Amino acid sequence: MEDVDSDPAAGQALRARLTDLNDGLIASAGMVEGVAQAHASPGVVLVAGIGALLVGVVAVAGIRYTEASDERDAHAALVEAERRRISADPEAELAELATIYESKGLEPALARQVAEQLSARDALTAQLDAEYRIDELGDATPPERAAWRTAAAFVGGALLPLLVASLAPSSVRVLLTAVVVVAALVTSAVLAARSGQVPVARAVVRTVGIGVLTMLVTIGAGSLLDLSSAEVEL
């Protein structure tokens, strides 16, 4: 955890992956718990869980791809707009940059000197960093990479309740799956909270609460059904 603690960006990236993993855990657990509570056979539970996993991973990866694409397009538009402003009136942009550094506590003469030196090296990068805390290449993650990372984390989380519910004896399937999922959610919530430097207890209560509520809802729905006669050929 030392590297994460010393690198906030790495911590936030880890927290995002753990959030995706939790999404997989909760979505898969919700499905398999409901089907298992309806007295379905292990084969039916497995097929239902795989179906939930496939639908879920396509959905979350697609959403993340769209979000990352929007972020990339917005970043490119902002960079281009700043480039046009510098080209149209470089002196005004230089004065604006000096004002930014002056507002941070530098003396006016020093702020102007800093702005001139940075602008002489790369005016666009200087403006983007001072105004928006980004650079020309940007902080935007390529959409394809963002989607694959989200998909991998989601699948990793979804597999755990799917395997437990499929392999556990029918007499303890629902309970054992719930216990394993809660333990996994607690672990991931603690890691995510520490990596993001947020209160651990609050993160655990929030994450576990959502997971437990999801399972209770689907278990309740499964109690109203009887899938004992359903069969699948594996």
Q: Residue 233's pLDDT is what?
A: 65
Q: Give the torsion through C-alpha atoms of 32, 34, 40, 41, to 10 deg.
A: 20
Rg from Cα positions in the chain: 25
CB 34 within 8 A of CB 221: yes
Q: Residue 136's pLDDT is what?
A: 54
Distances from the Cα of 166 to the Cα of 4, 45, 84, 116, 160, angstroms: 36, 6, 59, 66, 10
Q: Three-state DSSP class for 12?
A: helix
CB-side neighbour CA atoms (13 Å) of 226? 1
Q: Would you give the distance in Å from CA 185 to the centre of its chain? A: 15
CB 176 within 8 A of CB 184: no
Residue at 220: amino acid letter: G
Q: Residue 71's pLDDT is what?
A: 87
Residue at 94: amino acid letter: L
CB 93 within 8 A of CB 85: yes
CB 158 within 8 A of CB 27: yes
Q: Residue 2's pLDDT is what?
A: 45
Q: Residue 211's pLDDT is what?
A: 94
CB atoms within 10 A of CB 138: 15
* d(C-alpha 13, C-alpha 9), whole Å: 6
Domain residue ranges of the chain, discontinuous segments joined by +: 8-54+144-223
* d(C-alpha 129, C-alpha 155), whole Å: 37
Per-residue pLDDT tens digits of the chain, which is 234 residues long: 445 555 566 777 888 899 999 999 999 999 999 999 999 888 899 999 999 999 999 999 999 999 999 988 888 888 899 999 999 998 999 999 999 998 888 898 998 999 999 888 888 888 888 888 876 555 567 899 999 999 999 999 999 999 999 899 988 999 999 999 999 999 999 998 888 788 899 999 999 999 999 999 999 999 999 888 877 765
Distances from the Cα of 190 to the Cα of 7, 161, 181, 187, 202, angstroms: 18, 19, 14, 5, 10
* d(C-alpha 131, C-alpha 134), whole Å: 8
Maximum CA extent, the chain: 83
